[in-house]
Every structure is written in C-alpha cells, then in structure tokens.
Amino acid sequence: MSNQTLRELAKDYAKGVIDKETYRKSRTSLITAITAGKITVTENNYAPPLLPASVEDLDATETIQRDRTEDATSINISTPKSGMSNATQSGKTTSSKNSPLMFIAISVVIVLSLIIAVILFYPKPPGTTNVETSSSAIAAYSEPEIVSNDTNLAGESLIADFLTERNWDEDSLTMFLDAWSALTDEERASAMETKRMQRMHDSIYKQFLEEKALESIDSAKAALRQQKLIDFANALGIDDARLVME
C-alpha cells in the first residue's frame, strides 16, 4: 500500500496517472486502513487568521491613504496647468518669431506703394513730350504718302475688275475706257507699270487670236472685233506689233 493521501490519489486520477479502477481500489484500501486504525490521520496546522487592527491603527491607515489620494489628485491637477503654461510659452515664442516677418511684409508693401505713386504722379520729363511730338509729326507726314499709294492703286484695281469679268464685248470695252479716262495722269502712269497691266496686254493678244480663229465662220464680224481690240490697246497706250490686221 502506498503512502498517498486521498487528495494525492484524486490528483493522480485527475491528471490521468492512474485509471478509474486503480483509483477506486486504492481509495477503498486507504479508507479501510484509516477506519481500521492502520493509518494515522494527522491534523493540518493552518496559520490562524490575522486579528482585526485596533481603532487607532485603522484611523492611521485611512489617514495615510487619504494623504496619498490627495497627493495624486494635486499632481493630476497641476499637470494640465504646466501643459497650459508650456502652450502659452510656445504661443508667445511663435508670435515673437512671426513679428519680424510681419514687419518685413508691411515694409515691402509700403515701399511698393511709394514707387507706384511716384510713377503715376511724377511729371514727365521734357524729352518725353518731344518724342511724342516727333512721333505725331512722323505719322502726319506719312499719311499723305499712304493716301497717295491708295490713289495709285485705282488704275490697277480697275484693270483687275475688268480681267475678272472676262467680258470683251463693245459695251464692256467702252465702259472700261471711260473709267480709264476718268483717272488722273499719275494714276494711269502708275497702273501702266504694274503686273496687272502686263496681264491686260497678254489678255488682249489672246482675245485677238480667238477672234482671228473665227474668221472662217464670219470673217467680217471677226475682222470688226479684231479692229476694236486694236483700238482698245492703242487707247490704253499698249503698242504691240502682233496686233495687226491681215
């Protein structure tokens, strides 16, 4: 028989050290031996419970705990104040740092305002007036030249309109000669030196060849038209040896 106690047997069974059958046999044998007086049961000597403290000790303990609570509370209250003071100090530091920047910005604005005022209200030097006067004189002097150029384009424009219409009948030739005669000598002279007048020269000769090709159909009518083209060229001052009646 082992010297295990009932508690030790129960622990072994709970841990799986012994099976159920062994636990029951060992338990029965142990109980039988205890009841038969073969195993002496000893009494456990537990430590006695602590006696309650006296009233004075309890008061002292409560006083100590109260003091500790008050100290902790005072610490918690003082901490935000210190945090607030730090924030205030940091705010003052930031404002002190921003003060020079603000002063510089205001100074720049004042300087720019003064410069703009000087530019707007300061009287112009005499040289500026002379430059403006000379510019006006140049512009006035150049205007007649521009008008004169526009006037010289009258003859060229008349030729361009006639060539665009491509109408070589008698009425069209007469209307052109009337408009050509209405121009000034300067306008006609200027038109004679243009490329459009050269085109007019070539167009008259081309139309002359077309009329000449129609002689086989109506020789009299074709000859009349050829003569009108020759007269038209002579009226314009065009001397072309190719414009000859055969």
Q: What is the pLDDT of residues 190-207, one digit of tens each?
A: 888 889 899 998 999 999
| pLDDT score, position 142 | 46
DSSP 182: T
| pLDDT score, position 202 | 93
Report the range of poorest mean pLDDT among 19-23, 120-124, 168-172: 120-124
Average pLDDT over residues 139-164: 66
**Confidence grade of residue 80 (pLDDT, cut at 50, 70, 90):** very low
Between residues 200 and 245, the one the model is more confident about? 200
Q: Cβ atoms within 10 A of the Cβ of 26, count?
A: 19
CA 35-38-44 angle, to 5 degrees, is: 75
* Percent share of the chain, pLDDT over 90: 17
| pLDDT score, position 123 | 61
Q: Which residues contact 236 (CB under 8 A, 6 or more apart)?
A: 177, 180, 197, 200
**Which of 51-65, 90-104, 223-237 is the most confident on average?**
223-237
pLDDT above 60 for 146: no
Q: Cβ atoms within 10 A of the Cβ of 135, count?
A: 10
CB 241 within 8 A of CB 201: no
If you average pLDDT over every residue of the chain, what do you get?
76
**Confidence grade of residue 65 (pLDDT, cut at 50, 70, 90):** low
Average pLDDT over residues 112-128: 72
pLDDT above 90 for 175: yes
* Percent share of the chain, pLDDT over 70: 63
CB 200 within 8 A of CB 163: yes
Report the range of poorest mean pLDDT among 24-33, 43-52, 142-151: 142-151
Report the range of poorest mean pLDDT among 112-121, 148-157, 174-183: 148-157
Q: How many residues does the chain have?
A: 246
